[in-house]
Structure 1
């Protein structure tokens, strides 16, 4: 395989579920934080988890709003912040023990060496995201990392003059965000998908110069 990156090709990686297998951990933390703040009965567990799964990849307060709406509940700003704090604390403890997908570092290093412009995004608050990337020693691969609003970041790529932009993510929310921003999307749910990404990028590079997506 002969990938030849260039500055006008951007590859954006989601974090949770894409570079690291966190889906079950995030679901458990979400449920525990929600029950802790809103004292919901066990009978609502399935509805809470269904909402979390359906909105996975979105900003956490968008997820919370969806869950509250489904349950017919309201929350004060103080309750929302308390839920977010508990959610962050539970995630931080659990994520410290979770490893990256095995092929992640090798793939990122290869793409960086080939000259691709690599970015990382996440729906979690930016200070938490940057701290997590530092703990996993991933910041060295990315020229920029943004937490919070993934759709806004993807949309900003058009103003940066990239010929092609690709978003690698793991949820339907990620796929919609890519489509709305007019960038390509590659779904990652396993290490096998990470390894397949290079072949996808090789074909992506064959798009003629002067043609944007």
Structure 2
């Protein structure tokens, strides 16, 4: 029995290593979150594109909105994590302390949820992809795989869904609007924004001026 368990663990670890290495060169065939989107909304709108075809505006927009220290941290923004923890202790509405790297690890390898077990796995995967993939690949996988609408995944599908154009042709404002809805793309709509979303969009537009792509 012990040998079988040991063999299973070995196979599991080996499969994960191969998946991580493979992920450096190719986007995931499908993710758990994408499967959930198919089940919930009955569709999967997704079109993986190369990093070079995404355009600079959306890269700047998501960095401005989600993780302005993306190019200088090691996968974790400790100040943001500490703030989120303190806000949670005070009973405040918690804003995500997750970096783009953490979100990529979650969306590519794991599932949605707030359990400590999932968070622990996310930490391990984040640490590894920072070492193996590097920033450009992480941002590529993030923009190709994350949910950007109901059953809509990745920036190319989102650009077509919301604006009827390719991602590389998005204007600065359009890219900022897509980044604006990322905290809750199932709920928020860039074509019918609340006052909160309009204010957030304006803030992202200003912050994009401070983002320099590596």
Q: Work out whether the TM-score is over 0.5.
A: no
Structure in which a larger fraction of residues adopt helix: 2
TM normalised by structure 1 equals: 0.25
The structure that is strand-richer by fraction is 1
